[in-house]
Amino acid sequence: MFPKLTPATRAIIVVNVLVYLLERAAATPMEVHFALWPLGTPEGLFRPWQLVTYAFLHDPTGITHIFFNMFALYMFGPALEQYWRPGRFLGYYLVCVIAAGVTQLAVEYAFGSGEPTIGASGGIFGILLAFGMLFPRARILLYFAIPMPAWLFVTGYAVIELFFGITGRQASVAHFAHLGGMVGGALMLLYWRVRANAGGWRPT
């Protein structure tokens, strides 16, 4: 069963789609100013705002990149937004996006290499982590055919990302950014839990 779109999830999807259409129409590639460029590039293209803007850019030469990111957001975002309410959900998503970007910058700097990063995947992986932690027994159909609990789906995805990141396979994919989004999400959830335990506070 497909979920009903909620306000913040809808807004994120709409902004991504509009930016994607603008990318396709723009005479000058938007990646020059808004993709996440590695630190210390000879051209000096990194700017702080790119830690957010990169997540709203996708490959303009095809539809696969943006489709799968937005589809995952559509499938898992509404349940979290209804649990947290829109403001809290949007804040969580942006924290995951920034954490993914910082992780990607750190990994590229450590290895002295890298390319500009684009895509919402860091935020999406944070969403997946939260869904798996808050609704661990929810049933997910892998490839629309294989049922499994959410916690297993998310854990398996994290292990695969770690494997690809360490081995260097699928080098064109920012696997450590995906993991960084999950780590950022985990830290945010831990922070909220500590606050709730300390003062009887629950995120809304």
What is the count of structural domains for the chain?
1
Token pair 């000058």 in the structure block, residue: 28
CB 126 within 8 A of CB 184: yes
Residue 204 domain-assigned (yes or no): no
Mean pLDDT in the chain? 86
Q: Is residue 98 part of a domain?
A: yes
Residue 73 domain-assigned (yes or no): yes
Instruction: Please check the confidence at residue 199 and state whether its pLDDT lies above 80.
Output: no
Q: Which of 22-26, 90-94, 172-176 has the lowest mean pLDDT?
A: 172-176
The pTM of the full predicted model, rounded to 2 decimals, is 0.89
Domain containing 195: what range?
A: 7-199
Q: Is 44 exposed, middle or buried (0-12, 13-18, 19+ CB in 10 A)?
A: exposed
Residue 48 maps to a domain: yes
Q: Is residue 114 part of a domain?
A: yes
Taking 60 as the threshold, does the pLDDT of residue 118 lie above it?
yes
One-letter amino acid identity for 190? L
- Split at pLDDT 50, 70, 90, the class of 170 is low
Give the mean pLDDT of 70-99. 95
Q: What CATH number is attached to the domain comprising 166?
A: 1.20.1540.10
Query: Considering the domain boundaries, does residue 63 fall inside one?
Result: yes
Output the six-digit token pair for 7: 């306000």
114 pLDDT tier (thresholds 50, 70, 90)? confident
Whether 2 is covered by a domain: the verdict is no
pLDDT at 204: 46
In a domain, 60, yes or no: yes
Residue 173 predicted with pLDDT over 70: yes
Residue 95, amino acid: V
User: Is pLDDT at 151 greater than 50 in this prediction?
Assistant: yes
CA 13 – CA 9 distance, rounded (Å): 6
- Is the pLDDT assigned to residue 198 strictly greater than 60? yes
Band of pLDDT at residue 147, cut at 50, 70 and 90:
confident
Of the candidate ranges 3-17, 85-99, 128-142, the one whose mean pLDDT is the lowest: 128-142
With CA atoms as reference, report the closest residue to 121 among 145, 141, 148, 93.
Answer: 93
